[in-house]
Chain A
Amino acid sequence: VQWQLLRHLQYYLFGHLQYAVRNDMLGLLQRGLRGRLQQCVRDFVQRLLRGWAKLSLLHTEPSQPPLFTSRNRSWAEGRAKTVTFILTHACQLRCTYCYIHDKSPDARMHPRIARATIDYLLSHRSHFPEPSIVLDFIGGEPLLAVDLMEEISDYFRFETWRRGHPWFENFRLCVTTNGLLYDSPRVQSFIERNKRHLSITVTIDGVREKHDACRVYPTGKGSYDDTLRVIPLWLSQFPNESTKVTVAHNDLPWLCDSVLHLWNLGIRIVNLNTVFEDVWLEGDDLIYEEQLRRLADAYIAQPRYHDRICSVFSDAIGKPLDPQYDNKNWCGAGKMLAVECNGDFYPCIRFAPFSLANRTYSAIGNCFDGVDFNRLRPFLGLDRISQSSQECIECSVASGCAWCQGHNYDAATRDTVFERAVYGCGMHKARVRANEYLRRRWVEERA
């Protein structure tokens, strides 16, 4: 056993030595790039410790809450092409934070458009070489067009089978819904037929006060009761699904209670996002931080929450980013494809006309003529540095700071995607402080 351990250790050390050589540590030292070198050494030591931990050479209590390291991994992460079908603009609700400003009930995708899109995708394999595909149905409210959804999935299956396309088995249908129609027979029949490939997210914002503050009918009535009604059925059918909680200015005070409420309902993964728009007022960051601290306290105090996930807590956020090595674009716009009701293609739903309030973005193609790949190039080539201000580039807590390319474009001073909106800067910093608080509390509790 000792020999085996030594042998493993040798492999690990050799691997780490290779890592050091690859990162040119000596070269960095010679060139005096102290910051980068420190980061390299830190990475090196972390890798080494992780390696030893794997070998059980160091058996210790987890030094940070499991919440930090748990990840909500998406299906075929990074290897699937995501195609978003905007089935309809209509929606039963008028959520106050919704970025869609035109919920026209007449705008609905024609089946001919959907079929043409699928034909285009399947007949241009060289343009879409991904091994799998995610067909994402969105609206408006996609369940208002469940017939069309069914037609699309049937046509997709048939065509992939007929063409012998590798996506025949490697596909996923994703639906994000407000849940109001979830228990209708038509929707249940759709779920039954497609369950093996289906993923449904029902959005519920948390406690009644928070949910009803934002997610309201056109009459102003809250939708909490109607959504809550379907949650048990949804969880029984999709027990590992997550929900999305959107945080805006006027519902901040109920944030902690809302996440705990959702965990108590049995929703294991809560993805919590602050809106990107310019809605934050002075002092909102302090309320946000206080709410997250309360959440951290509750999490530490109640071991039953230790298998729950809330995306706001992560060990990856709040660190400086290297301009050269950590330079990826945050947003996936351009790598996905959004199809408008009329068949026009956009780099993401946030570039569709009904999402943009201040600008218009011309389509990057349509289902009949295909994608103009030149229009996609700015998105595929975008990185963090080319769109960030100097302050963001040098920010000491840059990691995890999110942005939306569509909103950036809408809020930019010029007609460009190379300008990053930073309305959420204060909220991100509050989040980082809360994360630090959770980390510290966790260590104190363990000690």
Chain B
Amino acid sequence: MSEAPATLLVVMSDRSVSFCGYDGDRGDLSCGMTDEIFAQAVSFARDSGMRICIVHDGNRLSEDRERLLDDLTVSRIVPFSLLPVYPDALCVITPDDMDALISIAPHTHETAVIKLSLAQSSLLPLFYLRLFDRFKRLNVFFTDAASCTNEDFAGYGQTLVAIGEGLIDLLPSSPAEIDAITDALLLNSPRTCGAGFTHLTVGPNGLWYPCPAFFYDFLSRSSGARTADTLVNARYFDATAFPLCRSCACTHCPRCAYLHKKCTGEYNTPPRQQCILKHMELAYASIVGEFLRNRRRQEWPLPLKEPVRFDPLGVMTGIVDPLESAAAGCVASMRHTFTHRSFSSQHGDEKHVSRIELQEIVGLSERINGIDEMLSEPDRLPCEPADAKGFEAAMQTERERLFVRRRDWWTDVRRRYAADNGSGPIFIDFESGRLLAHKVHS
């Protein structure tokens, strides 16, 4: 083995949770790892001095298997449902888990991975709002980054604006880092995926892969290696060695070996969509950083790195990708938003409620209004007449629940703003769900 990877990822079954830019849970046979393969993998990690990382499906490990891990450094990647069992694990959250997130106690967990498609990126602010004080760090992975379109970029641009605003507003309460913005601003050295040289994967079938994504991809599943020795090689896997990435300012880019291989045919070469997406995030992060620097009137610790071109290869070939133009348009729009906000902030007499908070509150109000509207017309209830009473009762209960949630949110927002600025109340018309006055007079 030419280099020594530090971590061995053990994929427990076909149903193990997917924690990166690939689709998990695609197993047709639902094959699980046998005790024998598990023991061999653990033994290999022990002999090679590697840490071990268990990628769980929905089940916990049996006691026998846990005993095998006793003398090893073990980390875990778990679906959200297993978080109460393994509170220190890296937890994967999907849009399906949205409603259950409220149950997590604040300031209790380390890192969460949010996995969603680009079309669902509008949910990201809500995720952030619900998780910013629950986790220390949030990593976002889009499952369809390689097939994004101009429309996706526009939507994601709006999302980033909302997160940027939220981040600024939540800053006094030490919110969670979110890789799309804080890594782009603060990371000094490039992040790298590490598949094939800092970590290796053993699948439930006993074959070796650079990372779990290659196991989940049916086309590459059968091409797993019989031994780990033939697989490891930083030369082919390390994207930071690739000319495009060697001097790239996008330190927060995950440089996913699987996505690279799938799109470009090489483990170390990023596809144009990833480059443009990550450079767009970098541009947004720079704008947020600039805003913060102006507002705090202090030196930002790192130079801001807004990119000139969104695809570094475009600089070499001279070709402007249509996606690049779309991304540039989104960034220009965000700059406009923040310039306006910066002006308002400097004049000191206006204070916005952050857009994501407003979105949550308004969203709840809309749902409450919807229920009221439905109940006001008993003839048109979407149920059989015989069930009308029961349906109405259920709707009333739901309304109560939403009302309480909205009140809690609102109380929290007011408390934070008051703590931050020593300012008076902000007014929202709960009935219409509109922000009546967003000025706070000191």
Interface residues of A (CB under 8 A from B): 126-127, 129, 362, 373-375, 377-378, 380-383, 385-386, 414, 416-419
The closest CB in chain B to the CB of A334 belongs to B317
Within 8 A of A (CB), among B240-273: 241-244, 263-273
Would you give 7 A-B contacts (Cβ < 8 Å), ordered by A? A374-B272, A381-B242, A381-B269, A381-B316, A385-B243, A416-B236, A418-B236
Task: Let me know if B76 is at the binding interface, CB within 8 A.
Answer: no
Q: Please measure, in the bound complex, the distance between the C-alpha atom of A386 and the C-alpha atom of B268, giving whole angstroms.
A: 10
B contact residues around A385 at 8 Å (CB):
243
Q: Please measure, in the bound complex, the distance between the C-alpha atom of A129 and the C-alpha atom of B265, giving whole angstroms.
A: 25
B contact residues around A375 at 8 Å (CB):
263-265
B contact residues around A374 at 8 Å (CB):
146, 263-264, 271-273
Partner of B242, one of A127, A129, A373, A386: A386
Q: Please measure, in the bound complex, the distance between the C-alpha atom of A374 and the C-alpha atom of B244, giving whole angstroms.
A: 13
Q: Please measure, in the bound complex, the distance between the C-alpha atom of A416 and the C-alpha atom of B272, giving whole angstroms.
A: 19
A362 with B272: CB separation less than 8 A: no
Task: Let me know if B318 is at the binding interface, CB within 8 A.
Answer: yes
Partner of A380, one of B146, B271, B317: B317
Q: Please measure, in the bound complex, the distance between the C-alpha atom of A48 and the C-alpha atom of B333, giving whole angstroms.
A: 51
Shortest A94–chain B CB gap in Å is: 32
Q: Please measure, in the bound complex, the distance between the C-alpha atom of A126 and the C-alpha atom of B242, giving whole angstroms.
A: 26
B51-94 contact mask (Cβ, 8 Å, vs A): 1 or 0: 00000000000000000000000000000000000000000000
* 5 additional A-B residue pairs with CB within 8 Å, beyond A373-B272, A380-B316, A381-B313: A126-B320, A374-B146, A377-B244, A378-B266, A381-B243
Task: Let me know if B341 is at the binding interface, CB within 8 A.
Answer: no
Count, chain B residues at interface, CB 8 A: 26
Shortest B257–chain A CB gap in Å is: 12
Shortest A435–chain B CB gap in Å is: 30
Shortest A101–chain B CB gap in Å is: 22
Partner of B313, one of A129, A380, A383: A380
Q: Please measure, in the bound complex, the distance between the C-alpha atom of A220 and the C-alpha atom of B12, giving whole angstroms.
A: 61
Partner of B266, one of A127, A373, A417: A417
Q: Please measure, in the bound complex, the distance between the C-alpha atom of A374 and the C-alpha atom of B148, giving whole angstroms.
A: 13
A414 with B236: CB separation less than 8 A: yes
Q: Please measure, in the bound complex, the distance between the C-alpha atom of A373 and the C-alpha atom of B313, giving whole angstroms.
A: 11
Q: Please measure, in the bound complex, the distance between the C-alpha atom of A374 and the C-alpha atom of B243, giving whole angstroms.
A: 15
Q: Please measure, in the bound complex, the distance between the C-alpha atom of A154 and the C-alpha atom of B260, giving whole angstroms.
A: 41
Given the known A-B contacts A375-B264, A377-B264, A414-B236, are A386 and B241 also in contact in the complex, defined by CB atoms under 8 Å? yes
Task: Let me know if B235 is at the binding interface, CB within 8 A.
Answer: yes
Q: Please measure, in the bound complex, the distance between the C-alpha atom of A173 and the C-alpha atom of B317, giving whole angstroms.
A: 24
Task: Let me know if B319 is at the binding interface, CB within 8 A.
Answer: yes
A contact residues around B242 at 8 Å (CB):
381, 386
Shortest A332–chain B CB gap in Å is: 13
Shortest A281–chain B CB gap in Å is: 29
Q: Please measure, in the bound complex, the distance between the C-alpha atom of A362 and the C-alpha atom of B313, giving whole angstroms.
A: 22
A126 with B319: CB separation less than 8 A: yes
Shortest A362–chain B CB gap in Å is: 7
A418 with B263: CB separation less than 8 A: no
Q: Please measure, in the bound complex, the distance between the C-alpha atom of A373 and the C-alpha atom of B270, giving whole angstroms.
A: 11
The closest CB in chain B to the CB of A130 belongs to B318
Q: Please measure, in the bound complex, the distance between the C-alpha atom of A416 and the C-alpha atom of B265, giving whole angstroms.
A: 8
Shortest A385–chain B CB gap in Å is: 8
Shortest B67–chain A CB gap in Å is: 38
Shortest A418–chain B CB gap in Å is: 6
Q: Please measure, in the bound complex, the distance between the C-alpha atom of A375 and the C-alpha atom of B262, giving whole angstroms.
A: 10
Q: Please measure, in the bound complex, the distance between the C-alpha atom of A385 and the C-alpha atom of B264, giving whole angstroms.
A: 20
B contact residues around A381 at 8 Å (CB):
242-244, 269, 313, 316
Which of B242, B266, B269, B313 gathers most chain A CB within 10 Å?
B269
Q: Please measure, in the bound complex, the distance between the C-alpha atom of A203 and the C-alpha atom of B265, giving whole angstroms.
A: 35
B contact residues around A418 at 8 Å (CB):
235-236, 266, 268
A378 with B264: CB separation less than 8 A: yes
Q: Please measure, in the bound complex, the distance between the C-alpha atom of A67 and the C-alpha atom of B142, giving whole angstroms.
A: 58
Shortest B313–chain A CB gap in Å is: 6
B272 with A386: CB separation less than 8 A: no
A contact residues around B316 at 8 Å (CB):
380-381
Q: Please measure, in the bound complex, the distance between the C-alpha atom of A129 and the C-alpha atom of B316, giving whole angstroms.
A: 13
A377 with B236: CB separation less than 8 A: no
Q: Please measure, in the bound complex, the distance between the C-alpha atom of A129 and the C-alpha atom of B319, giving whole angstroms.
A: 8
The closest CB in chain B to the CB of A385 belongs to B243
The closest CB in chain A to the CB of B274 belongs to A374
The closest CB in chain A to the CB of B321 belongs to A373
The closest CB in chain B to the CB of A382 belongs to B243
Q: Please measure, in the bound complex, the distance between the C-alpha atom of A383 and the C-alpha atom of B243, giving whole angstroms.
A: 7
Shortest B236–chain A CB gap in Å is: 5
B267 with A416: CB separation less than 8 A: yes
B contact residues around A383 at 8 Å (CB):
243
Q: Please measure, in the bound complex, the distance between the C-alpha atom of A215 and the C-alpha atom of B268, giving whole angstroms.
A: 41
Shortest A129–chain B CB gap in Å is: 6
B contact residues around A127 at 8 Å (CB):
319
Which of A377, A386, A418 gathers most chain B CB within 10 Å?
A377
A contact residues around B317 at 8 Å (CB):
380
Shortest A285–chain B CB gap in Å is: 28
Shortest B428–chain A CB gap in Å is: 47
A129 with B272: CB separation less than 8 A: no
A contact residues around B235 at 8 Å (CB):
418
The closest CB in chain A to the CB of B275 belongs to A377
Q: Please measure, in the bound complex, the distance between the C-alpha atom of A417 and the C-alpha atom of B317, giving whole angstroms.
A: 19
